[in-house]
Structure 1
Amino acid sequence: MRRTGLRVSTGGSRRPPCGRAARPVSCMASSSSSTPTPQGTVLVAGATGGVGQILTKKLVERGFNVKALSRNKEKSVELLGTASNLDHVEGDITDKGTLSSCMPGVSAVVCTTGTTAFPTLRWLGNNDPERNSYLGVKHLVDVAKEEGEKSGKGVDRFVFVSSAGVKRYDQGPPYSILNAFGVLVAKEKAEDYLISSGLRYTIVRPGRLTDAPYTSYDLNTLIKGESGTRKEVNLSLEEELDGETSRAAVAESCLQSLLHSFMADTTFSMESVVGEGPGTDDAEWVKRFQEIQA
């Protein structure tokens, strides 16, 4: 399959996963500048959600061409505004037939969708964990592969925002409680499906999300939880971090993962801790990414 679109090069190298041969990677931008120059089009699934809103705006501001995917185009325009490099597209990840028209021209997909861990009104309309957090992601992966096979222009990266606890839900509280209705099992299945798909992937596992926009039905939405001085990020290749995580930091980690090709075929956990943090500095994110892979 011919790879086109998103390109990037950084100063680091990455060991291939055990059992897999190293492959040439391409993602976003060029190596001729210290600040990567966006190329290609990114589809953000869940663009009207908390992380999705922040990420979409970040990508647009950085100059990426963006397709903001949501169930409601009017709501998307209201929340995200308009820009010459922003296209609002309507589709439902739980209904695969609505996604094919959104995929042509896309070079990367970032899936920020999700639902509540416990039954709420948000589960209505086939939005329970199994159909949203597993089947929805599976549909996106399948459509991305099908578009590549049809057009010869494959998706260079699929970034999936998963969750802390996907490998610990059988080890007792708190994740056994969080998984009472299967949300972590669904996300684990989605991770496994993406990894086995053949697409180049990055999986992000944040802890409980804090900071606006508050779009979910959880404790931090109720109390308007904020990260405050916790602007630094802890990252780990192990599924071991438990701290709350700023939505802004999650969104930036997704953007930075796209920018830097050595983050392909990588899964990492993250949490927000006290400190200044990398903010939106590309070099600082590269430093943190490379430290966990050393």
Structure 2
Amino acid sequence: MPTCEGIVAVLGANGGTGREAVARLQHYGIKVRAIARSEAKLKEVAGPGVETAVADVRDPAGLENALRGVRAVINCVGTRVGFANTGKGLADFFGFGEDGADAVDNRGTVNVLEAMKRVGAEHIVIVTSMLINQPLNPFSLMMKPFGDILTMKDKAEKAVRTSGLRYTIVRPGGLTNQPPLQKGIRVAPADALSSGSIPRADVAEVCVQALWTDTAYGRTLEIVSDDTPPVSDWRAFFASVPPDAVAVQSAVASSVS
């Protein structure tokens, strides 16, 4: 069972995966700070045992205030495009506006990393997406006009890997709304999977377990549901994926110094 004496912040706590992350952290008795862009959005997750804070990943100063005292961050923030983003017009519809993929997924992630360093937070788990480096996949081609969103998520991942922070990158397949831990989870290295779906609650469970399982550190994981039993050995689950090359290089450099 994961344990933590500090606070875990969930960014994008009002979204589908963010709400599940808050719920899974509460399930394990971990202190949670739910963060969203407005008080109205936080009403969806506010409740006993949940701290709340208002912050926007596009606002570095606001992020720093919201993350003070936090030990770890689960970042579930992601751009909404198409009919999922009513926004301010055509630019937001296509993901190129002030609420678009570059501003939120890419530069917003950089802002999160810098704010974490300023407040002394130790570990980030970030939810991105499968297909980031599969440009010829039909879904990737379909999403290209919408803010080049997978490219922006790729840039965000690269910023995370080179941040110097402890990290885990979680790339889920298509997201569904089933309860957690009903099926098994297939885990694979980056760019190994091209199809599949997974409940948001299981994505949240992987994120929570990654915070406190050392074999999750420095890894990029792709996850979808399968028909095996639910995961019972999380150390083995994460260890089945090799660490990112940059994480290996960092570990070697630390041991030499």
Q: What's the TM-score, normalizing by structure 1?
A: 0.73
Q: 1:118-137 to 2 correspondence within 5 Å?
A: 118=82, 120-122=85-87, 123=92, 126-137=98-109
Structure richer in helix, relative to its length = 2
How do 1:44-55 and structure 2 match up within 5 A?
A: 44-55=10-21
* Among 122, 130, 144, the residue aligned to 1:179: 144
**Contact (CA 8 Å) 2:215, 2:238: kept in 1 or not?**
no
List per-residue Cα deviations over 1:233-264 (Å, max 9, x = no partner). 11011312121121111000000100212211
Q: Which residue is equivalent to 2:54? A: 90
Structure 2 residues not aligned, in runs of 5+: 244-257
Listed one character per residue, the Cα deviations across residues 216-247 of structure 1 (whole Å, up to 9, x for unaligned) are: xxxxxxxxxx5999721110113121211211
Q: How many equivalent pairs are there?
A: 233
Distance 1:271 1:101 in 2: 35
Question: Which of 192, 210, 223 lines up with 1:240 in the alignment?
Answer: 192
> 2:223 and 2:237 mapped to 1: Cα distance?
11
Q: Secondary structure at the match of 1:80?
A: coil
Separation in 2 of the partners of 1:228 and 1:141? 29
Given candidates 69, 78, 101, the residue that maps to 1:105 is 69
RMSD between aligned residues = 2.3
| 1:166-218 residue CA offsets vs partner (Å, 9 max, x unmatched) | 1112x24221222322100110000011111111110001111111xxxxxxx
Distance in 1, matches of 2:207 and 2:139, equals: 26
- Structure-1 residue corresponding to 2:183: 231
The answer as to whether partners of 1:55 and 1:251 remain within 8 angstroms in 2 is yes
Where 1:204 maps in the other structure, the secondary structure is strand
Indicate the percent of aligned positions where both proteins have the same amino acid: 29
What TM-score, normalized by structure 2, do the two folds share?
A: 0.83
Q: Contact between 2:166 and 2:218, CA under 8 Å: does it hold in 1?
A: yes
- Equivalent residue number for residue 277 of structure 1: 230
Pick one of 95, 108, 111 that aligns with 1:139.
111
Letter of the structure 2 residue corresponding to residue 46 of structure 1: G
DSSP 3-state at the match of 1:167: coil
Higher strand share: 2
Q: Which residue of 2 aligns with 1:261?
A: 214
Match of 2:247 in 1: none
Does the 8 Å CA contact 1:229/1:274 hold for their aligned counterparts? no
